[in-house]
Structure 1
Amino acid sequence: MPPRVDLPFSPIERALFVPAADTLVIADVHLGRGAASSVDAPIDDAKAIRDRLESLLTRTDPETVVVAGDVLHAFDGVPCGVERDLAALEDTVDAADASLVVTPGNHDTMLETVFDGTMVGEYRLADDETVVCHGHERPKTDATRYVIGHDHPALSVDGRKRPCFLYGPTVYEGADVIVCPAFTTLAGGATVNEMRARAFQSPLVTDADAFHPGVWDDSSEELLWFPPLGACRRLL
């Protein structure tokens, strides 16, 4: 059951749509993750990312797409092909008549060398209530809610690990916090079932027990909300 009936955002698969701002938010794309994997066969994660994003753009038709950090995977270099993949990602957003904004993450130290689009540390959406940032640092902008990534949350249900959203009402200095799962499917995810606040990397997660996990159900095409993590620990 959702923690609220009138939530001002709509999780869709691994993305978050904010209707009042006509904005689609994704986090932790990690372009180049496939190239960094220790497998013999190359993994074309960039094409899979573009295909899923294109599908979401068709479904939501947003005015703006915001990437909440970690567009790139590598800290100290840009693997061969990543610049091309990033340009193709930009083209996908442009073809949908949307604008692209990036709030750089801790992995994006080299992003300026391959991306000349809009970058801002914290981005306030058109609803004037929501601020998007990566979440690895405390935000400097006041907001009613923060949408972040960074921790790659996942929930273990019946022995299966599923990427999940985390929604914490009024958990950070009175503001709501929504933690998005990693958009790349190559990120294993941090299993949040037993994680306490000190285990999270984001300083915006100050009371892990208060966050409601939500898992996308492909069959019903809706997010299934679970009780707060404090209660889930007794149930899962």
Structure 2
Amino acid sequence: MNAAARALSVSLGGGAHALAGGLLWIEPSASLVVADLHLGYEEAIGGALPLWSLDESLAALERARAAYDARELILLGDVVHGVRLSDGATARVLTTVQRLRQLCTLTIVAGNHEGRTRGAGLLGECVEEIERAGMLLHHGDRTRLSGARHVIGHLHPSVALGGEQSVPAFLVAPELIVLPAATPYSRGLNVLSRDCRTEIGAYGARSTSTHVIAATATHCYPFGSIASLARATRALRGAP
């Protein structure tokens, strides 16, 4: 990672860095990680929208791979929104995945949206988990415990801004890193919700030691711990 790229990242410890766009950079293995692309979502909701997220996702990952000179791209589950796509949408998804394979080594981790076959029928070879830089990477739909730090997606964490607006966010604890969802169609799970605390608690992470980093397309914004963000939010609501 060059100096300019490092200045826009947030170190998460252990060689992991939060990047703009919700990507994770694992420096020791030169791996770029993205979670919850949900390709084909537009068709899954009835085909009212064109499959524009395929091209947008591919372009963003191509830029990131070049910027960080990544040797590996890891798709951390829910690569597709569903496996029952039309022939046309299936062809578009396969073309996108093939383009990603041409960029560098591609590792696909299975998620719950890959269906009962865990993606094998559509995406080819998928794995349930991998280890990089001493961290255990898996989608997060099947909670598992180990002595390693877990890196997951699945939860779609976000910071609620009021109304219908929210910003995707990383959750970072000694036990756990949760990536934001890459899909533009998810409002996400409010990081201040009880459900969020329950989900991260399954890995031993606490709200007092789990930090929130909002990720826009161009910047990362550290917000402190979930507990401190909750206190600040309550104070602001009570302010004149």
State the TM bucket, normalised to the shorter chain: 0.7 to 0.9
Counterpart of 2:173 (choices 155, 168, 171) is 168
Once residues 154 and 12 of structure 2 are traced to their aligned partners in structure 1, the CA distance between those partners, rounded to angstroms, is: 27
Partner residue in 1 for 2:17:
10
Query: Is the counterpart of residue 71 in structure 1 residue 79 in structure 2?
Result: yes
Partner residue in 2 for 1:147:
151
Structure 1 residues 185 and 146, CA, compared in 2 at 3 Å: closer, same or farther? Answer: same
Partner residue in 2 for 1:24:
32
Counterpart of 1:88 (choices 79, 86, 95) is 95
CA contact (8 A) 1:137 1:202 kept: no
CA contact (8 A) 2:22 2:216 kept: no
Q: Deviation digits for residues 145-175 of structure 1, max 9, x if unmatched? A: 2110001011024764100101012xxxxxx
Q: Deviation digits for residues 12-64 of structure 1, max 9, x if unmatched? A: 22110111111011111111111123573434221111111111111112111
Once residues 160 and 112 of structure 2 are traced to their aligned partners in structure 1, the CA distance between those partners, rounded to angstroms, is: 26
Structure 1 residues 235 and 23, CA, compared in 2 at 3 Å: closer, same or farther? Answer: same
Partner residue in 1 for 2:56:
48
Question: Counterpart amino acid of 2:155?
Answer: D
Local SS of the residue matching 2:160: strand
TM-score, structure 1 as length reference? 0.81
Question: Counterpart amino acid of 2:68?
Answer: T
Local SS of the residue matching 1:73: coil
Query: Is the counterpart of residue 213 in structure 1 residue 217 in structure 2?
Result: no
Q: Deviation digits for residues 173-203 of structure 1, max 9, x if unmatched? A: xxx2110011111222112223355653884
Q: What's the Cα RMSD here?
A: 2.7
Local SS of the residue matching 1:207: coil
Structure 1 residues 85 and 3, CA, compared in 2 at 3 Å: closer, same or farther? Answer: closer
Structure 1 residues 116 and 194, CA, compared in 2 at 3 Å: closer, same or farther? Answer: closer
Q: Where is the helix percentage greater, Structure 1 or Structure 2? A: 2
Which runs of no fewer than 5 residues in structure 1 stay unpaired? 170-175
Structure 1 residues 216 and 140, CA, compared in 2 at 3 Å: closer, same or farther? Answer: closer
Once residues 230 and 3 of structure 1 are traced to their aligned partners in structure 2, the CA distance between those partners, rounded to angstroms, is: 20
Which runs of no fewer than 5 residues in structure 2 stay unpaired? 1-8, 234-240
Query: Alignment length, in residue pairs?
Result: 221
Partner residue in 2 for 1:173:
none
Counterpart of 1:135 (choices 109, 120, 140) is 140
Once residues 186 and 87 of structure 2 are traced to their aligned partners in structure 1, the CA distance between those partners, rounded to angstroms, is: 20
| Aligned sequence identity (%) | 23
Local SS of the residue matching 1:182: coil
